[in-house]
Amino acid sequence: MSAERYNRQIILKGFGEEAQQKLLRAKVLVIGVGGLGCPALQYLAAAGIGHIGIVDDDTISLSNLHRQILFTTADIGKLKVEVAAKRLQEMNTQIGIIRHPIRLQKNNILDILSRYDYILDGTDNFESRYLINDACALLNKPLIFAAVSGFEGQLAIFNTPDHLTPSTNYRDIFPIPPTKGEIPNCSENGIIGVLPGVLGTMAAAEIIKLIAEIGQPLTNKILSYNLLTQEQYTINLSQGHGYTLPKTVDEFLNMDYQNTSEGPQGYIEIDATELVKLQQLDSTILIDVRERHEVPVLDKQIFTQVPMSEFGAFMSKEFYQKHVVLICQHGIRSVAAAEAMQEKYGDAKKIYSLKGGIIKWRDHFLKS
Amino acid sequence: MEIEIISFGQITEFINNQKIEVNGIADTNSFKQYLEDRFPALKGIKYKLALNKNIVQQNTEITNQATIAIMPPFSGG
């Protein structure tokens, strides 16, 4: 180890040579090389974590670049894991970078996780987050959880007991995954690039604190961060009850992580041609469930505006139309709205959701 | 009785941070019912309550000047 490379943190009071050695011996796995994973990886590599594994099966696209700061314009189309590993290795030649250009699934996750001491979840969907949570709980691996939405973020450390509380996991907060469309994602809702930068960096800080055994890591706590106000709010966690957490490998392999939506589907997903047919019926109401600030703006004479945030109130009122067509930007929130309507009206009304949303059928909406 | 509400994520779109005056709400179960009646949009999404910064895992008594946080799950990365 070159002491000079890490000199500025080694001379830090309360850190020192011993802490640096702990970092060098540590094995950290970063899952997801996205807005959270990129900044976390940069600081973990620079700080001298001896073995860093990187998992992602995705390639770099132009819309990644505003937040995924390991990549350049010339990297578009390349595998994220390859580009990230090369950059990190150039940054720090003294550490080992292990590439995992795969998608984690039930049949490979336990094997990969078991090779590491600390796991950082920087993925972007609930299927992966519940899969990783359950696998970490089963293997008793410390899990650093970071997630963002809009201008806010969440950060927590799971599966790590402290002197007050036995270890907690994500299901102690949210026992059941949300249904599809219930919670907006980044591609649907948007994300300011610097936000995952802040959360990813905070996650790297928590990993370094855990390994070096300094400070008070967010063990058994969840921190909420608001970029617009710079406010933080920390909630103490405790164990919940009455949820399903696989206790054995067999139970784990029998879990269903693919499909987070519940219940039978009674609504119908339609394309633009079917939309035109329905539009001609008097008994059809077309509902745009996007929030009021979203673009493109549709003709309000044709499309009734009922944002998801007002949907509950709308459903408490009666309306005569028998056919209800729900529309949103990508066809994700409209599915959530369709599920809610199906649950309330059952067979009394016919519920439709425009598959792919306004973006997919842009030409149709621009001409109408 | 005065309760301070703190909300996060998409819940802030229909429940602002505010102090409310309530009567006849003694515990977190009845508070949850009150919230879902007053803000029906809450019924459609997963969320967790924290009472005075401690996560609510079972019905817990609420006292005057309590702070209740309402937190949805985030998945973005």
Say if residue A208 is in the same domain as residue A314.
Answer: no
Say if residue A289 is in the same domain as residue A234.
Answer: no
**Rounded CA separation A262/A74 (Å):** 42
- Of A253, A283, A314, the residue at which a domain comes to its end is A253
Q: Which two tokens stand for residue A127?
A: 């299927």
Say if residue A178 is in the same domain as residue A292.
Answer: no
The range of the structural domain enclosing residue A126 comes to 7-253
Q: Is residue B77 part of a domain?
A: no
pLDDT value at residue B39: 93
Geometric angle at alpha carbon A49, from A161 and A147, rounded to 5°: 55
Long-range Cβ contact pairs of B60-63 (< 8 A, separation 24 or more): B60/B27, B60/B28, B61/B26, B61/B27, B62/B1, B62/B3, B62/B25, B62/B26, B62/B27, B62/B28, B62/B31, B63/B1
pLDDT value at residue A186: 63
Say if residue A216 is in the same domain as residue A291.
Answer: no
Hey, what amino acid is at A200? G
pLDDT classification of A149: cutoffs 50, 70, 90:
very high
Q: What is the Cβ-side half-sphere exposure of residue A23, based on CA atoms within 13 angstroms?
A: 28
Say if residue A192 is in the same domain as residue A333.
Answer: no
Chain A touched by B38 (CB under 8 Å):
no
**pLDDT tens digit string along B19-33?**
999 989 999 999 999
Q: Is residue A1 part of a domain?
A: no
**pLDDT tens digit string along A169-197?**
999 999 999 987 777 766 667 899 999 99
For tokens 């406010």, the residue is A231
Percent of chain A with pLDDT over 90: 70
- Pairing of β A303-305 and β A284-288: parallel
pLDDT value at residue A312: 83
pLDDT classification of A1: cutoffs 50, 70, 90:
low
Burial code (b: 16+ CB inside 10 Å, e: under 16) for B21-35 equals eeeebeebeebbeeb
**pLDDT tens digit string along A324-334?**
999 999 888 89
Q: Is residue B11 part of a domain?
A: yes
Chain A touched by B41 (CB under 8 Å):
yes
**Total of domains in chain A:** 2
Q: Which two tokens stand for residue A338?
A: 């369709």
- Of A220, A253, A286, the residue at which a domain comes to its end is A253
Q: What is the Cβ-side half-sphere exposure of residue B18, based on CA atoms within 13 angstroms?
A: 9
pLDDT classification of A259: cutoffs 50, 70, 90:
low
Q: How large is the average pLDDT for residues A164-168?
A: 89
**pLDDT tens digit string along A88-128?**
999 999 999 999 999 999 999 999 999 999 999 999 999 99
Q: Is residue B76 part of a domain?
A: no
Q: Is residue B67 part of a domain?
A: yes
pLDDT value at residue B14: 94
Per-residue pLDDT at A43 exceeds 90? yes
Looking at the partner chain, which of B39, B45, B54 has a beta carbon nearest the beta carbon of A236?
A: B54
Are A235 and B54 in contact (CB < 8 Å)? yes
Looking at the partner chain, which of A35, A182, A240 has a beta carbon nearest the beta carbon of B46?
A: A182
Alpha carbon of residue A314 to chain centroid: 29
Comparing CA positions, the residue from A38, A364, A338, A333 lying closest to residue A187 is: A333
Helices (H) and strands (E) in chain B, counts: 1, 5
Name the A residues in 254-313 with CB < 8 Å from any B CB: 291, 308-313
Is the complex ipTM higher than 0.90?
A: yes
Geometric angle at alpha carbon A4, from A116 and A200, rounded to 5°: 40
Per-residue pLDDT at A139 exceeds 90? yes
Q: What is the Cβ-side half-sphere exposure of residue A15, based on CA atoms within 13 angstroms?
A: 12
Say if residue A87 is in the same domain as residue A229.
Answer: yes
Residue A77 burial (10 A CB sphere; 0-12, 13-18, 19+): exposed
**Rounded CA separation B30/A28 (Å):** 44
Q: Which residue of A has its CA nearest to B54?
A: A236
pLDDT value at residue A261: 41
pLDDT value at residue B27: 96
Q: Is residue A258 part of a domain?
A: no
Say if residue A245 is in the same domain as residue A280.
Answer: no
Chain B touched by A58 (CB under 8 Å):
no
Q: Is residue A262 part of a domain?
A: no
Q: Which residues in chain A are closer than 8 Å to B6, comparing Cβ atoms? A: 233
The range of the structural domain enclosing residue B65 comes to 2-71
Mean pLDDT estimate for chain A: 92
CB pairs under 8 A between A and B: 123
Name the A residues in 28-57 with CB < 8 Å from any B CB: 32, 34-37
Q: Which residue of A has its CA nearest to B57?
A: A240
Going along chain A, which residue ranges are E strands? 27-31, 51-55, 96-100, 118-121, 143-149, 152-158, 221-226, 231-236, 268-270, 284-288, 303-305, 323-327, 350-354
Between A270 and A218, the higher pLDDT residue: A218
Say if residue A327 is in the same domain as residue A239.
Answer: no
Say if residue A323 is in the same domain as residue A204.
Answer: no
Q: Which two tokens stand for residue A193?
A: 């690039």
Per-residue pLDDT at B2 exceeds 70? yes
**Rounded CA separation B77/B66 (Å):** 33
Between A363 and A223, the higher pLDDT residue: A223
Q: Which two tokens stand for residue B61?
A: 């008594």
pLDDT classification of A262: cutoffs 50, 70, 90:
very low
Say if residue A93 is in the same domain as residue A121.
Answer: yes
Q: Is residue B45 part of a domain?
A: yes
Geometric angle at alpha carbon A205, from A114 and A14, rounded to 5°: 110
Q: What is the Cβ-side half-sphere exposure of residue A279, based on CA atoms within 13 angstroms?
A: 17
Q: Which residues in chain A are closer than 8 Å to B8, comparing Cβ atoms? A: 152, 224, 226, 233
Longest dimension (CA), chain A: 77
**Rounded CA separation A253/B50 (Å):** 33
**Rounded CA separation A157/A41 (Å):** 17
pLDDT classification of A367: cutoffs 50, 70, 90:
low
Name the A residues in 87-126 with CB < 8 Å from any B CB: 122-126
Per-residue pLDDT at A263 exceeds 80? no
Looking at the partner chain, which of A122, A182, A226 has a beta carbon nearest the beta carbon of B77?
A: A122
Chain B touched by A63 (CB under 8 Å):
no
**pLDDT tens digit string along A50-98?**
999 999 999 999 999 999 999 999 999 999 999 999 999 999 999 999 9
CATH number of the domain that residue A149 is part of: 3.40.50.720
A178 secondary structure, DSSP code: P
**Total of domains in chain B:** 1
- Of A219, A253, A287, the residue at which a domain comes to its end is A253
Q: How large is the average pLDDT for residues A8-23?
A: 96
Mean pLDDT estimate for chain B: 95
Per-residue pLDDT at A15 exceeds 60? yes
Q: How large is the average pLDDT for residues A299-313?
A: 89
End-to-end CA distance of chain B: 40
Between A346 and A202, the higher pLDDT residue: A202
Q: Which residue of A has its CA nearest to B40?
A: A312
pLDDT classification of A265: cutoffs 50, 70, 90:
low
**pLDDT tens digit string along A197-254?**
999 999 999 999 999 999 999 999 999 999 999 999 999 999 998 888 999 999 999 9
**Rounded CA separation A116/A130 (Å):** 19
Q: Is residue B16 part of a domain?
A: yes
Say if residue A168 is in the same domain as residue A302.
Answer: no
**pLDDT tens digit string along B28-63?**
999 999 999 999 999 889 999 999 999 999 999 999
Between A155 and A294, the higher pLDDT residue: A155
Per-residue pLDDT at A44 exceeds 90? yes
Say if residue A272 is in the same domain as residue A188.
Answer: no
Q: Is residue A2 part of a domain?
A: no
CATH number of the domain that residue B61 is part of: 3.10.20.30
Are B46 and A191 in contact (CB < 8 Å)? no
CATH number of the domain that residue A311 is part of: 3.40.250.10
Q: Is residue A220 part of a domain?
A: yes
Are B54 and A238 in contact (CB < 8 Å)? yes
pLDDT classification of A260: cutoffs 50, 70, 90:
very low
Asked if residue B47 lies in contact with residue B71, where contact means CB atoms within 8 angstroms, the answer is: yes
pLDDT value at residue A124: 93
